[in-house]
Amino acid sequence: MENKADFDYPHTFILLGASGDLAKKKIYPTIWYLYRDNVLPKNTKFVGYARTSQTVSEVREKCKKYIKVRPGEEDKYEEFWAANDYLAGAYDKRIDFEKLNQLICKNEKGIVANRIFYLAVPPTVFEDVTVNIKNSCVAIKGYTRVIIEKPFGRDDVSSDKLSNHLANLFKEEQIYRIDHYLGKEMVQNLMTIRFANQIFCPSWNRSNIASVLISFKEPFGTEGRGGYFDDFGMIRDVMQNHLLQILSLIAMEKPVSLHPNDIRDEKVKVLRHIPAIEMKDILVGQYVGNPNGNGEEKLGYLDDPTVPKGSVTPTYALAALWINNARWEGVPFILRCGKALNERKAEVRIQYKDVPGDIFGGNTKRNELVIRVQPGEALYLKMMSKSPGMKFDLVETELDLTYSMRYREADVPDAYERLILDVFTGTQMHFVRSDELKEAWRIFTPILQQLEENHVQPHPYVFGSRGPAAADGKLAEYNFKYSGSYKWQKPSIC
């Protein structure tokens, strides 16, 4: 936090794009939960702004489906909406932003007051909105912070343009680039797992680790969002941001301290060791229809009427990234993500090398440290043990930290709750810095260009399957061994 006393000043949270999907599904519910839990500064007001002419009651009605109000919270909920205002205005008219400024000033009473702008708007109006905030709406005394959502450009050139545009208007300390995966419990746990456990630190390197697999799977397709998605594709949607962020937290060196800039310095450093992805190291896929997916017909990506005919946009991608430094040279970091797959899952698998000098007749299996981000946060280490009893056989088993069992009372907050609260407290640890973004685009832009210019045909995979058949072959190629022999005995409480 810049200054603890900041929390005593009036704050205004301004949601631009307040009529949109993200606003109603995610941002309004999140600010309500933060308000309900009394973690926001006492005098916080909320202002929605968008082109649509509507009242606060209408906004409230639209959000109803997505907001949870528990019994006993009704009065607080009324109070929350009473702290809300809404103004309709254009994104490109300075005069409208001057009106917005007047509305914000109502809460401020001429003293020090802080303002947070959340840009839940499409990239097309991004530049206008930020210029208008700068010209008409910055706090006179107090801070102005701006939260922005991806896409942060679509390649290195457009991302640099956006970064330069923002840098001309705001200081880096004012800009909070959200990658909501950085707000997830197990992603935030990565540094603790690594740097607070002597057992992992010494083995976290090329001498011991064979490969690292970072996966994101979703069981649904683009579902009418195909038009938007088609312009970006799976690599830009998930791999270049969420999965690469996870990679950098797994691979970076220990930061000097927990200061946000020390952490981000290390993330940038490790990214600088990664060369741009080569064509030989990528496999892309696109889902096709499944007449009997989960008991009902599932349409293929190209069947979505909002998707351009014959599109080769990937809905699945697997890529191996190489980190050319002393710790990781030769260890493949496999990033894998896809829509319309068999399950919802985000996880990391750190697969250790085979035990050298085997004395167990080749029956040992590799250790694997699995960090399950979602669903059901868990950390488990697959290991070999003697089978209990008279025999001297080996069994594959696990050391298991399943959150729902170990921390039954814990309330794991949603990623957006943590991240928005971080903006109020002024901590940028879990936000993307501009130089990180630059490195991310350096790694991904060439391969995106090659895929697009060469119109590379994606491998088809059936909606609801594990992805293209060729992907498992790729995993083996990158020294990720799947034996299929591991069996987990689900505890009855799980």
Ligand X SMILES: NC(=O)C1=CN([C@@H]2O[C@H](COP(=O)(O)OP(=O)(O)OC[C@H]3O[C@@H](n4cnc5c(N)ncnc54)[C@H](OP(=O)(O)O)[C@@H]3O)[C@@H](O)[C@H]2O)C=CC1
Catalytic residues: 242
Cβ-defined contacts of 352-357 (< 8 Å, 24+): 352/203, 352/208, 352/209, 352/210, 353/208, 353/209, 353/210, 354/210
Site for ligand X contains 218 (CB under 6 A): no
Among 237, 368, 396, 417, binds ligand LXAUTJHC (CB under 6 A): 237
**Shortest distance (Å) from residue 330 CB to ligand X:** 21
At residue 144, the 3 state secondary structure works out as strand
By beta-carbon proximity to ligand X, the closer residue of 232 and 482 is 482
CB of 225 to ligand X, least distance (A): 23
Nearer to ligand LXAUTJHC (CB atom), residue 232 or residue 322 = 232
User: Which among 471, 479, 187 is positioned nearest to 351, based on CA atoms?
Assistant: 479
Q: How far apart are CA 369 and CA 5, in angstroms?
A: 43
Q: Which residue number, 327 or 345, has a Cβ lying nearer to ligand LXAUTJHC?
A: 345
Structure tokens at 14: 């301004």
| Alpha-carbon distances, residue 479 vs 179, 202, 251, 330, 354 (angstroms) | 29, 21, 17, 10, 11
Q: Smaller CB distance to ligand LXAUTJHC: residue 10 or 221?
A: 221
8 A C-beta contact, residue 248 and residue 270: yes
Q: How far is the CB of 415 from ligand LXAUTJHC (least distance, A)?
A: 6
Phi, psi of 183, rounded to the nearest 5 degrees: -95, 0
Using CB under 6 A as the binding rule, whether residue 378 contacts ligand X is answered as yes
Coil, helix or strand at residue 241 = helix
The bridge status of strand 11-16 relative to strand 44-50 is: parallel
**Binding residues for ligand X restricted to 455-494, rule: CB under 6 A:** 466, 472, 475, 482, 486, 488
| Residue 488, binding choice from ligand LXAUTJHC, ligand X, none, Cβ under 5 to 8 Å by partner class | ligand X
- How many residues sit close enough to ligand X to count as binding (CB under 6 A)? 15
C-alpha pair distances (Å), 320 with each of 208, 239, 281, 334, 451: 18, 11, 5, 4, 16
| Adjacent-strand bridge partners of 16 | 49, 119
Q: Which amino acid appears at position 428 of this protein?
A: Q
- Least distance from C-beta 238 to ligand X, angstroms? 14
Binding flags for ligand LXAUTJHC, 127-166, as an x/- string (CB under 6 A)? ----------------------------------------
Q: Tokens standing for 339?
A: 């829509």
238 vs 379 by CB, closer to ligand LXAUTJHC? 238
Q: How far apart are CA 142 and CA 159, in angstroms?
A: 29
Compute the least distance from the CB of residue 301 to ligand LXAUTJHC, in Å: 13
Q: Which does 322 bind (CB under 5 to 8 A by kind): ligand LXAUTJHC, ligand X, none?
A: none
Minimum Å gap between C-beta 492 and ligand X is 13
Q: How far apart are CA 59 and CA 87, in angstroms?
A: 11
| Cα four-point dihedral sign 216, 312, 277, 435 | negative
Give the one entry of ligand X, ligand LXAUTJHC, none that residue 237 binds, where binding means its C-beta sits below a cut-off of 5 to 8 angstroms depending on kind: ligand LXAUTJHC
Q: CB under 5 to 8 A by kind: which of ligand X, ligand LXAUTJHC, none does 22 bind? A: none
Picked from ligand LXAUTJHC, ligand X, none, the partner binding residue 380 (CB below 5 to 8 A depending on kind) is ligand X
Query: One symbol per residue from 178 to 217: x for binding ligand X (CB under 6 A), - otherwise; what is it?
Result: -------------------------------------x-x
Query: 149 pairs with which residues across the strands?
Result: 178
Binding mask 379-398 for ligand X (x = CB under 6 A): -x-----------------x
| DSSP conformation letters of 265-283 | HHHHHHHHTSPPPPGGGEE
CA-CA distance, 278 to 446, in Å (whole number)? 8
Least distance (Å) from ligand LXAUTJHC to the CB of residue 440?
14
Which residues contact ligand LXAUTJHC by CB under 6 A? 180, 218, 237-238, 346
Query: Using CB under 6 A as the criterion, which residues of the chain lie in contact with ligand X when the complex forms?
Result: 215, 217, 370, 376, 378, 380, 398, 400, 402, 466, 472, 475, 482, 486, 488
